[in-house]
Amino acid sequence: MKSVVLGFQHLLAMYAGAILVPLIVGQAIGLTSTQLTYLVSIDILMCGIATILQIMNNKFFGIGLPVVLGCTFTAVGPMISIGDKYGISAIYGAVIASGLIIVLISTFFGKLIKFFPPVVTGSVVTIIGITLIPVALNNMGGGFGAPDFGSITNILLSFGTLLSIILLYRFTTGFLRSISILLGMAAGTVAAMMFGIVDFGAVKEASAFHLLTPFYLATPTFHLVPILTMTLVAMVSLVESTGVYFALSDITEKEITEKDLEKGYRSEGLASLIGGIFNAFPYTTFSQNVGLVQMSGVKSRKVILITAIMLVSLGFMPKIAAMATVIPTSVLGGAMVAMFGMVISQGIKMLSKVVGESQENAMIIACSVGLGLGVSVVPDIFASLPASIQMLTSNGIVAGSLTAIVLNIMFNMLPSKKRKRAAQVRLTEQEV
């Protein structure tokens, strides 16, 4: 019974993050309430499957640690951008292709990781967070194109939700603090019910049980830019997951090898590949559940397996998934400000460790974030370039990411007189 309670606690800690990505992306690309219900339920189910793949430990996949997987927020902005420009089918084509690419390069990613130091990943995460803020503000007003956009009701609900989250985060600790966003959205939805703007039609119409349906929302189509974008996102997620792996390795006192990392990366790629087939999203490790492992002191994979089974079971119950879809857009927008702001905050945190190391790092950050944001705000700036080049410059996240990678190679990896002198000084000091 204790294991079940602990497993349920892990589920609650990650549930908000698990349902928010499909809610945000689904609303942004204009899904109907029925489609949104399916998207949320299949995503919950796939979180469970992805977690099971990762806690296993066989020859081919599984890091073998008590890790929980959920949708990565890093992918929200890119998926919305892909959906707007290429359609929903391109999102799933990119998710499937990027998952397959990660499976294929998992053996070599441990060596490729040198191209993704904190100065690169921090820049990418910061760019992604910044490009998400306009989505949050549009939703705070009621959603782009809404007839009551910017109404007093929407403003009160969105800021009320945000204030609830802030107060919960400030005056609670531990578990309650970890689900402050979920509680804040619940409070906002209750307030919206008082205004009479919550529609439970989707819950009534949803079936009590359903089966998995491949390509339910769209048959995937494959385009180079979306695939490149989602592959970059997947690589950033792998870098973040590596940190979680080592954190759990330290907590559980289980040493992980390069082979273990390969199997962990392969599991994430496989989860995204399967998720794309069933019209779900990419998956990554959830750091909030690492905190629960640390706080509870329970390091058994059995508890996480129970969490995964709960997630899979919930995924077969559309009525429960439909409850999440009744959250008004303005309430969701208020929560988005906090969540997306935290993405920016995480990027800044990653960059704060490296920006003072050298002027070169400061230049990498300045150019990559500046170009990434600039292309997102003024997407037509490169409209006169050849189509082959526009594939790399039309998306702010791709443009900023590639800028960070190239500049990092130029400043920090290619031989330079400055680094040679520094190496000679270190060598002299060692001889002395």
| 285, β-bridge pairs | 69
Question: Quick check: is 318 in a domain?
Answer: yes
- Nearest-CA neighbor of 243 among 383, 409, 118, 412? 118
Q: What values do phi and psi take at 414, rounded to 5?
A: -75, 145
Question: Quick check: is 394 in a domain?
Answer: no
Question: Quick check: is 416 in a domain?
Answer: no
Q: Which residue segment(s) compose the domain that 281 sits in?
A: 2-345
> How high is the pLDDT of residue 418?
61
Question: Quick check: is 391 in a domain?
Answer: no
Question: Quick check: is 383 in a domain?
Answer: no
Q: Can you tell me the distance from the alpha carbon of 424 to that of 430, in angstroms, rounded to the nearest whole number?
A: 10
Spell out the per-residue pLDDT of the chain, length 432, in tens: 677 877 876 776 677 667 778 888 888 888 888 888 888 888 989 999 999 999 988 888 888 888 889 888 778 888 988 998 899 999 999 999 999 999 999 888 877 777 778 888 788 878 877 877 887 888 899 877 778 898 999 999 999 999 998 998 889 877 677 678 778 888 998 999 988 888 787 778 777 787 778 888 889 999 988 998 899 888 878 877 876 787 778 778 888 788 888 899 999 999 999 999 998 888 888 765 776 676 556 778 888 899 899 899 888 888 877 777 788 889 888 888 887 787 788 788 878 888 877 888 999 999 999 998 888 888 788 888 876 676 667 777 778 888 988 999 999 888 766 655 655 555 555 555
> How high is the pLDDT of residue 166?
92
> How high is the pLDDT of residue 284?
84
Question: Quick check: is 403 in a domain?
Answer: no
> How high is the pLDDT of residue 46?
92
- Return all residues near 190 (Cβ < 8 A) that are at least 6 apart: none
User: What is the pTM for the complete model shown?
Assistant: 0.70
Q: How many domains does the chain have?
A: 1
> How high is the pLDDT of residue 128?
75
Element (H, E) at 419: helix 417-431
Question: Quick check: is 367 in a domain?
Answer: no
Question: Quick check: is 279 in a domain?
Answer: yes
- For residues 296 and 130, is the Cβ–Cβ distance under 8 A? no
